[in-house]
Amino acid sequence: MPSTVVHLAVAGLIATSLLAEHFDGRAALVVLAAAAVPDLDTLVGLWVPGGHRAVLHTLLLPAGVGAVLFADSVGGSWLVDRWGAYGKRVAWVAFASLLVAGIGLDLFTNGVNVFYPIHDQFYSVSGKVSFSNERGLVQTVFDAKARGSTATTHYSTGFDLARGADPTGAERTFPIARSGKQLFLGVASFGILGFRLWESRKK
């Protein structure tokens, strides 16, 4: 599964591309923080069995945030009154970061509990897309796979190795990158983010 560093790398690319002229260090930090929020349920999982990838990875979270932002944009906008166009742009880009970098990335890598707590079921939308000279376009990405509920599914983390009590003396690892591709993504993203920060300070 992607590490928090990988989530932040994707959020960094979202920030550098979507914030446009509103890009600065504070705005980038908000967008990166939004992507990291779902991974806080790693800690919730210590008290709520199966809570990791469920409590804050539910799509009901961005649905609620999106509804609030949409309601704010209808008529008088509190965001615009308080922070102008800058605040509105940062809020919507942070929303995109939460949905895509925070939850979407995990949904397409091992799965999340999509509608928790209304419907307690983990789903994984992962697969391949290819073109075959015999079969044409072949895709398995959208063949969503059910992976069980919070009662039967546990995603191991450095904080919570196993359901129930962790084995005594077991090694705890906190991944930075699980593959060369993830490492490359992180280096590229943070490099681009750093350049944009340097560039924004020159103005």
pLDDT of residue 84: 94
Q: In the predicted model, what is the mean pLDDT of residues 75-96?
A: 93
Q: In the predicted model, what is the mean pLDDT of residues 99-106?
A: 96
Q: Into how many domains does the chain fold?
A: 1
Euclidean distance between CA atoms 66 and 168, whole angstroms? 43
- Host domain of residue 128: 4-201
pLDDT of residue 203: 63
11 pLDDT above the threshold of 70: yes
Q: Give me Rg for the CA atoms of the chain.
A: 19
Three-point CA angle 161, 52, 167, nearest 5°: 15
Coil, strand or helix: which one is 108?
coil
163 pLDDT above the threshold of 70: yes
Q: Which of 68, 54, 9 minimizes the C-alpha distance to 36?
A: 9
pLDDT tens string 15-65: 999 999 999 999 999 999 999 999 999 998 888 889 999 999 999 999 999
Q: In the predicted model, what is the mean pLDDT of residues 161-166?
A: 83
Q: In the predicted model, what is the mean pLDDT of residues 160-187?
A: 89
Euclidean distance between CA atoms 186 and 8, whole angstroms? 8
